[in-house]
Structure 1
Amino acid sequence: MNIQLFSQWFKTALLLAIVFYSFSLSAKAQSDDLGTITGKVVDAESGEPIIGANVSISGTTKGAASDIDGVYRISGIQPGSHSITVSYISYTKKNITDIQVESGEVTQLNVSLQPETIGLGEVTVTAQASTDSEAGLLSIQRKAVPMQDGLSSEYLGKTGDGNVASAMKRVTGVTLLNGKDVFIRGLGNRYSNVQLNGAPVPSTSPTKKEAPVDLINSGSVENIVVQKTFTPDQSGEFSGGSVQITSKEFPEEKNIGFSYSTSYNSVSTFENTIGYRGSPMDFLGFDNGKRTLPAVIKNSRVTSENEKELANALHGDWLINSNQQAIPSQKFELSYADQLNEANLPIGIVSNFSYKYDRSYQPGREYRVIQSYNSDADQNVLNADYMRREGKEDATLSGMLNVFLKPNSKTKIGLKNLYSNSLENSTQLIIGDYVNYPRNTRQTVQDFNRRAIFSSSGILERYFDSFLQSQLSVNISYSRAKQDRPDRRTTQYNLTPSDTYNIYFDDGGNTHFFSDQLDNNYTAKVDYELQPLRSLGLKAGFSGLLKDRDFNARRLEYQNFSGAYPNDRKDEPANVALDPVLIENDQLDLVETTQARDSYQGEQTLLAGYLSANMDFIENLTLEAGARVEQSIQKVKIRNDGESQAIANVDKTDILPAVNATYSASDKINFRGAFSMTLARPEFREISDFRFQDFVGSQIVYGNPDLNRTLIHNYDIRFESYPNPGEIFAISAFYKKFFNPIELFYRFTERTEVQYKNADQANLYGIEVEGRRNVTEQLQLVVNASYILSETRSKEEDRFRTANFERPMYGQSPYSFNAGTFYTIPQWNMELSANYNTFGERIVTVGMGRHPDDEYEQPFHKVDLGVKYRPGQFTIKADVENLLDQEVVYKQGDVITNKYAPGVTYNVGISYNF
């Protein structure tokens, strides 16, 4: 989606919001003196919504029936104290007294009904006016079939996390790698799936399965659920867990909000950063065409005939400047939410628009690559030893529009739309030694990396109370993910004996690199549930996924084949040293080094069907058993000499059984157990023979068309207790066995090259503990921790390729720990929070045979503090991140391979709701 389409989309959304807002003004003026009671009616034992329950206000004719979500809403109520009666066939009637209704306010009242028991009459209770959404999510978790953990929108508001990625690290057993890669139970992207509103989120990365959860604003999220045991209605690509992100649908009351926030970083803010002259649209996250691949070679390769024309058409500004300041970040957010026409055809509208801009600076980042370890001398020989300075410009533009309606109380239809465009525009200056001997090199990198995602889901839910209490759910989705890296430019200069830097051509360090990737996902999912017996529920469904990817890359390189390059230009800046005039005069060559494998087209067709039964024939024991069948066909093609050539064709059908059992010792204590078989498929990039290198001296990564899928056996047990609403204590143990796990191995070459390959097998054992306690009405404590051991065994043929024949799994942390405390001061309308997060060292690169060890990211201890103050309709927030000011460190043996200081970040924001 380009900026023109997004602009039109946003204008339409804004116009809709204005129309609905104007439409509701007159109705609001008439109802300002009256109040509303709304809430949800659920089964006290299962936690499922009750559809069609009667809710009436005593002494009046006012009432409502709960709809397909179990939600009821009664408007036009006189202020004061009221009582309501809630009833439904085969459930015990409930009377609730002392419900306080305020003028012009919405009173929230959720109700749970007990299944009818002989001898049990009506129940009368006193109302609790407020509802804790954290407690509601825990109630769903307590009654859910699979083992799961989650975050409510209320909890996200407490922590202040700006996007889903930063919030995820607060879930038990979840850690974050590179600020956006979600690792569940120590397992990386390939072993998990991420869904937005029931549809898979496509990747914006050409190198791995990376769902861009950092692009999803936490303010638009209703809840995040991390399902940790497999059920047949989920994708079979499931081992670590399934992240299920749900955006909001029907708001409880109208809200129009505006917020502004800014931040200061101790390392970079107000420092002179490095950068280059880009396009006027960069601050919005788009290129205006300045970096576009020249038309002269769009459909042809570089030749001696078009070389000169190409040189003049390329973006030729190579200068790195340091005259810009790293200004404080700026973020603006506008939201509108309302529920209209409640009495006849309820329409729910939720919309959100946000923009964030940040300019930062990393003054010194150590980077080293080990070539080999000399055991006799007990020392490491380095392939590269660099110091990197980096300036970055980040811009994110996001919008969301959800529109839902309920034609009747048993039907819900909706459309959920999300768009986000994010830019990371970086400038790097890299200085250091390369390839084992004092050859000091100076490199520059100018990299415009744009990522965008668009997702649209059409949803239909229909309840049939006249036929075995059955329910039909349909989800049809289209999602699109794009990554664009136009004209990534690099230069390389080497230090001479006379202490001057001369441009150097032999290592291929002076380049233009163009790449773009477009993923399209078309999904359809149908689920049907029915309950032929009170103790037996059946669920069946099918789904289809059509996925296509188009990845294109072009490599252009400056070379001095003739040796005619003028000596007086060697020490000049790149604008002079790579002047197109030199190519016109045949003193410099511009050649194309693109190979056929550098571009590919991927297609995947995934068809699935499942059947499961939920049984509770034995008192207090619930058992779900079923299986899923998946057929996946993956194809990867390249263009070779103008012909399409298939380099990978994977066609597999798998049967994936799953059993989940829960024994409820009481309404507050559960014992759970689960077994399942799941899998992990290789990505398009991994089964294509594409190669990529960040800069001279860094790793070159290759794909492998011969990769096999990974099969996984999962075993889980769990004890959980829910002492009071909003509280939990749980302990889990799990074991996973992997067959043919996919890992990165070094190739037998002189250069630093790695390739995806299957290891023989792997085992993973773990324990998780979670606790949430309301110490007082004002103080809440949240703690969770995990301890995980894993072991990967390489194949015998790879014994000498790896530093360790047996080692932990790639990216797996042996432990993680999260702790948070939240304190409210009602009389001051203030909330205080403190959060701590850490993890154990984890492998980021598998070492090769001649290395001293694998490369590990070292533990990082992050402490955040926050305060929120609400004077009237304003909310003022302030927080500090990384209070300990710890550095990020990677080590391989005793060598620090990567090190930098993220600094302490101070955030301040203000919002207004009306």
Structure 2
Amino acid sequence: MLAPGRRRGWVAGGHAELVLWGFLLVMIGWGAIGRLPARGAEAGGVVEGRVVSGWDGAPLAGVTVTVRGTTLATVTDAEGRFRLGSVPAGRHVVVLSRPGFVRTVVTDVLVAEGETSRVDAHLRPEFYEGEEYVVTAPEMNEQTAQLLELRRQSATILDAVSAEQFGRLAASDAADILERVPGVVVADGKHPVVRGLNERYVGVLLNGAEVPSPDPYRKSASLDMFPAGLIDSVTVAKSFTPDLPGDFSGGGVLLRTRSFPESFLFRSSAGLEFNTRASLRDDFLSGSGGSLDWLGMDDGTRALPAELDVPGLTIPRPVSNTGLPSNPAYATRIAEAERLNRLTRLMGSPEFAPTPMRAPPNHSFSLAAGDTVPLSEQAVGWFGGLTYQRKFTLWEGPNNRYSPGLNQTIMPRKLFQDMQGVEEVTWAAVANVAWRPVQGHEFNFTFYRNQNSDFVARTQRGTITDDPGMTFVMHRLHWTERSLESFQLNGDHRFAGTNGSRLEWLAALATTRQEEPDARFFHYRTDGFIFEPDHQSLPTPSKPTRYFRDLEETNRKVKGDVTMPWTDGAGREWRLKWGGAWLGSERTFSDREIYYEGQFGPSAAYPFLGDANAFLPPGSLGYTAVTNANGRILYTWNRYIQTRESRYDARQEIPAAYWMVEVPVGERFRWLGGVRFERTELEAHSVSYVANATTGLPENTASLGRDDFLPAVGLTWQMRSNMQIRLHYSETVARPTFRELAAYRSYDPVTDEILEGNPRLKMSDVKNYDLRWEWFPGPGEVLAVSLFYKDLARAIERQYVNIGGEIVSFVNRPTAEVWGAELEFRRSLGFVHSSLQHVSLGLNAAWIESSVRLTEEEVRNRIEFLGDASDTRPLYDQSPYVVNVDVSWEIPRTGTLLTAAFNVSGPRIVIAGLATPDVYENPAPSLDLILDQRLGRHWRLRLTAKNVLDPAIERTYGEGSEAIYSRYHRGRLFGMSLSCEW
């Protein structure tokens, strides 16, 4: 159990500690700024801007900037920025020059008294042409080219997607974006699987800070919680370096929200989308809710009454009679009966079955605005954004379960037809304020808020082999809402006169919550409309049941990084980086199950007649009492509630420190080396209504504590100025999630299975080997080939733990291996023929293999039940191939952009079988078509056709088998949106 004293310190002192760390870091940065020389007020105007390479979009430092006809001059900093003050009012010519680049002249720069004029420009390398390059201010830079330059210069192997790209591909959220990255699969539309390793091996950072997961069963935050409209870039780090968290084994997803623009920006959009399988259908399954459902928030309609929302609550069993008044237990029995009666009636008479409605089209809108305001020597930037979308999906198809049969076969145990209406609401807001007191020093505060809800109304009808000839019906109404709040304060300080030394720091607080209030399940068999809730064949839960689940997790993080470059005698740049971080997480989870018992048969006072929504008519709750002649009270109970509860509390602390160095070796090689130290302290205390299968106890405490030194080394060979080869080796870890360690048993309505934690799980260790060749032919273009190999010790997987295939738990595998190759190509087809200069092709593909060693018990079971003697199988959630293709044709004359995007991933194991074949999710190719049309200067129309192929989303027992686990279609989506930008 968590030590009470320590836990109080964790909760009470956490915010104070975060504030203190943030204050100290701010003071460090402020102190450095305070030593900078102050500048006086300037007469005239200001010219400022940014200079990048016209070859690859990289920022250019050391560019001399002069104003013709004056003595004014300056030099750009490490990010290519410059600022010239006291420029006389009028029209000027600005000259930019640097050795190795063609001198650039920007004409018609208008400067007004007391105002700031902006000049952004490219410098072309000398091999382009040998004459002066003249442009007219201002000139725009492509974000895609800048991200590719970031990737080229990075110490780690990166893949990056810019806002330009996912805007062109009509991505709606970060999950859509990640699907376009080489070697990445997004499981269930939410969770990243990078190079065959699922989300437990993948970290998600928002602006450099970990994002807690609101899903009790997952480690990483759900990517569908991050709308594309608020994301500036998505980067996937595929090799570990010591300045990254040590659990970046498969990779790290680095999300960066939009920040303040350099000039005023206002953008808005609105859209409608028609789903061919859901929109405007009158039989869309739904149910009644609250007045704020459209905002993804329950207004209290589904809330558990306060008297029942008590940890450790026990509800009396029904009292049949009080006995004689002289009985000492007479008063106690009356009190128990009254309490049970009152609590039962507090729960009211809710709906238990879905009701049909007419589903409207999907709809969305977004707003964004920002600006940078110069204040004398300073600058203040701000940005605010809001997005909202509401989607309706109808899933129809088989949903079955199989069990071992005769002669090494499997036989159907449950055969159901499934229909579920899913209403999803997501909205998010971001606010960013930045202050640049002087050039090279910046403070940022970012607030991010997300709200997401899913309302699933579901009916299944079918048969169970234990009861031949009977029809079973399962109704479910399941509301889930998730929220995320993130507060981040960070600073970036570049110190003049120190050869570009840099201090970066961050203090962050993130809170996430998932609530499942009043999730209702009503399962029965039809036999002349006789309801038999205790029948052994009924699916889980076997009685009319209502669940109230609540999860809350808080993450606190502080970190600081110092980068010190210097130049040796040969003019080669060395780079030393070191820093530290502290991450603390705390989670609480409670699961209250309230189920109904009593009289249900045809002879009961309130018989069940087959209508789940009429199951609790007025007067059916509680008791009917009669007092006989001698004062004894006799109770007849109609329908009453009982309860059981599971809960867990968990915490985690990970202090870390690291150092790394980049060393030039000769003219063309760079060596990277370093190590990261992390201490893991993880603890979970759980209480369940049933004993854990591993420990045999209903109450358990699991703890993990260890120290890890995680090395990383790499070598980069710069073959040419735009071509390089990278070789990396690193060691990383993967930690069990809180839910996996928490030893309680619960019903998972999403997978329709019973899930149980394993308090004896251990951490996984991963050795990573990476090789990549990269060529950047021109701005925004890349050709790359990668090879990788990962060796996992104690890999963690989901697995059935009973022969019948009903209970899923988590186990450590002794060993596992993953290896594969990736290909990436993005380039204009102008090199093929000049007529194709406005056609670009993007292609990436990954081939991935894996091997997991089975235990002796699994091998015996497979031989006995399946006749399969193999002692290995692929890794859970790993697809053998991933392919993405997109083709874009831009017509500058008309402002038209046409894009076709295709995606497919290979079959992957979603549940490892014990005595039945592994459950596979089979390929579901996706094709999207996008037309983007400019309408004048400020308006844009976008037409989309998504999921044009509408393949079956199918899971089977065994790869490509006819034994269906589940199958449905998402529907084709035809959308239209109109946006304006100023």
TM surpasses 0.5:
yes
**Which one has a bigger Cα radius of gyration?**
2
| C-alpha separation in 2, matches of 1:782 and 1:490 | 47
| C-alpha separation in 2, matches of 1:702 and 1:630 | 29
Give the secondary-structure state (helix, strand or coil) at the position aligned to 2:665.
coil
**Contact 2:494–2:502, Cα closer than 8 Å, also in 1:** yes
- Corresponding residue for residue 144 of structure 2: 134
Structure 1 residue 320, shift from structure 2 partner: 3.6
Letter in 1 for 2:881: Y
- Corresponding residue for residue 813 of structure 1: 879
**Contact 1:442–1:501, Cα closer than 8 Å, also in 2:** no
The answer to which of 173-182 and 426-435 deviates more is: 426-435
**Contact 2:404–2:804, Cα closer than 8 Å, also in 1:** no
- Corresponding residue for residue 537 of structure 1: 575
The verdict on how the C-alpha distance between 1:79 and 1:694 changes in structure 2, with shifts beyond 3 A counting, is: farther
- Corresponding residue for residue 429 of structure 1: 459
Structure 1 residue 327, shift from structure 2 partner: 0.5
| C-alpha separation in 2, matches of 1:745 and 1:101 | 67
| C-alpha separation in 2, matches of 1:779 and 1:99 | 32
Structure 1 residue 468, shift from structure 2 partner: 5.0
Structure 1 residue 111, shift from structure 2 partner: 4.5
- Corresponding residue for residue 969 of structure 2: 901
Structure 1 residue 106, shift from structure 2 partner: 6.3
User: Is residue 533 of structure 2 the alignment partner of residue 504 of structure 1?
Assistant: yes
* Residues 823-902 of structure 1 mapped to structure 2, 5 A cutoff: 823-849=889-915, 851=916, 853-872=917-936, 873-893=938-958, 894=961, 895-902=963-970
Q: CA RMSD in A?
A: 3.0
Structure 1 residue 428, shift from structure 2 partner: 0.6
User: Is residue 356 of structure 2 the alignment partner of residue 327 of structure 1?
Assistant: no
User: Is residue 718 of structure 2 the alignment partner of residue 664 of structure 1?
Assistant: yes
**Contact 2:671–2:716, Cα closer than 8 Å, also in 1:** yes
The answer to which of 479-488 and 631-640 deviates more is: 631-640
Give the secondary-structure state (helix, strand or coil) at the position aligned to 1:860.
coil
Structure 1 residue 318, shift from structure 2 partner: 1.3
The verdict on how the C-alpha distance between 1:590 and 1:319 changes in structure 2, with shifts beyond 3 A counting, is: closer
Letter in 2 for 1:374: L
Letter in 2 for 1:886: P
CA deviations 1:481-528 (Å, max 9, x no partner) are 1100001011012021x4x46363444231010101001000001101
- Corresponding residue for residue 276 of structure 2: 266
Structure 1 residue 41, shift from structure 2 partner: 4.9
**Contact 1:41–1:71, Cα closer than 8 Å, also in 2:** no
- Corresponding residue for residue 700 of structure 1: 754
**Contact 2:52–2:58, Cα closer than 8 Å, also in 1:** no
Structure 1 residue 532, shift from structure 2 partner: 4.2
User: Is residue 980 of structure 2 the alignment partner of residue 912 of structure 1?
Assistant: yes
Letter in 1 for 2:500: Q
**Contact 1:635–1:646, Cα closer than 8 Å, also in 2:** no
| C-alpha separation in 1, matches of 2:698 and 2:544 | 30
| C-alpha separation in 1, matches of 2:579 and 2:54 | 24
**Contact 1:77–1:101, Cα closer than 8 Å, also in 2:** no
The verdict on how the C-alpha distance between 1:155 and 1:108 changes in structure 2, with shifts beyond 3 A counting, is: farther
- Corresponding residue for residue 740 of structure 2: 686
| C-alpha separation in 1, matches of 2:447 and 2:212 | 15
The verdict on how the C-alpha distance between 1:62 and 1:505 changes in structure 2, with shifts beyond 3 A counting, is: farther
**Contact 1:35–1:105, Cα closer than 8 Å, also in 2:** yes
**Contact 2:484–2:512, Cα closer than 8 Å, also in 1:** yes
| C-alpha separation in 2, matches of 1:708 and 1:319 | 41
Letter in 1 for 2:920: Y
Give the secondary-structure state (helix, strand or coil) at the position aligned to 1:137.
helix
- Corresponding residue for residue 606 of structure 1: 654
- Corresponding residue for residue 22 of structure 1: none
**Contact 2:501–2:565, Cα closer than 8 Å, also in 1:** yes
Structure 1 residue 659, shift from structure 2 partner: 0.6
Give the secondary-structure state (helix, strand or coil) at the position aligned to 2:644.
coil
Letter in 1 for 2:966: N
| C-alpha separation in 2, matches of 1:145 and 1:665 | 16
Given candidates 514, 521, 545, the residue that maps to 1:483 is 514
Give the secondary-structure state (helix, strand or coil) at the position aligned to 1:204.
coil
| C-alpha separation in 2, matches of 1:593 and 1:686 | 24
Given candidates 675, 678, 683, the residue that maps to 1:630 is 678
The verdict on how the C-alpha distance between 1:172 and 1:640 changes in structure 2, with shifts beyond 3 A counting, is: closer
Give the secondary-structure state (helix, strand or coil) at the position aligned to 1:504.
coil
* Residues 282-431 of structure 1 mapped to structure 2, 5 A cutoff: 282-299=293-310, 300-304=313-317, 305=336, 306-318=339-351, 320=353, 322-341=355-374, 343-362=376-395, 364-375=396-407, 378=409, 380-431=410-461
**Contact 2:918–2:957, Cα closer than 8 Å, also in 1:** yes
| C-alpha separation in 2, matches of 1:644 and 1:350 | 51
User: Is residue 590 of structure 2 the alignment partner of residue 557 of structure 1?
Assistant: no
**Contact 2:242–2:676, Cα closer than 8 Å, also in 1:** yes
Letter in 1 for 2:978: I
| C-alpha separation in 2, matches of 1:387 and 1:146 | 48
- Corresponding residue for residue 277 of structure 1: 288
Give the secondary-structure state (helix, strand or coil) at the position aligned to 1:308.
helix
User: Is residue 555 of structure 2 the alignment partner of residue 513 of structure 1?
Assistant: no
The answer to which of 70-79 and 58-67 deviates more is: 70-79
- Corresponding residue for residue 669 of structure 2: 621
Structure 1 residue 694, shift from structure 2 partner: 3.9
The verdict on how the C-alpha distance between 1:501 and 1:262 changes in structure 2, with shifts beyond 3 A counting, is: farther
Number of aligned positions between the proteins:
861
Structure 1 residue 315, shift from structure 2 partner: 4.7
| C-alpha separation in 2, matches of 1:165 and 1:696 | 19
**Contact 2:531–2:600, Cα closer than 8 Å, also in 1:** no
**Contact 2:844–2:885, Cα closer than 8 Å, also in 1:** yes
- Corresponding residue for residue 210 of structure 1: 220
| C-alpha separation in 2, matches of 1:43 and 1:461 | 26
- Corresponding residue for residue 16 of structure 1: none
Given candidates 224, 246, 261, the residue that maps to 1:251 is 261
| C-alpha separation in 1, matches of 2:603 and 2:678 | 60
| C-alpha separation in 1, matches of 2:614 and 2:232 | 55
| C-alpha separation in 2, matches of 1:816 and 1:37 | 45
User: Is residue 820 of structure 2 the alignment partner of residue 763 of structure 1?
Assistant: no
| Unaligned residue ranges in structure 1 (runs of 5+) | 1-33, 115-121
User: Is residue 789 of structure 2 the alignment partner of residue 732 of structure 1?
Assistant: no
The verdict on how the C-alpha distance between 1:649 and 1:859 changes in structure 2, with shifts beyond 3 A counting, is: same
Give the secondary-structure state (helix, strand or coil) at the position aligned to 1:277.
coil
**Contact 1:58–1:85, Cα closer than 8 Å, also in 2:** no
| Unaligned residue ranges in structure 2 (runs of 5+) | 1-44, 318-335, 625-635, 690-696, 831-836
**Contact 2:688–2:743, Cα closer than 8 Å, also in 1:** no
Structure 1 residue 846, shift from structure 2 partner: 0.6
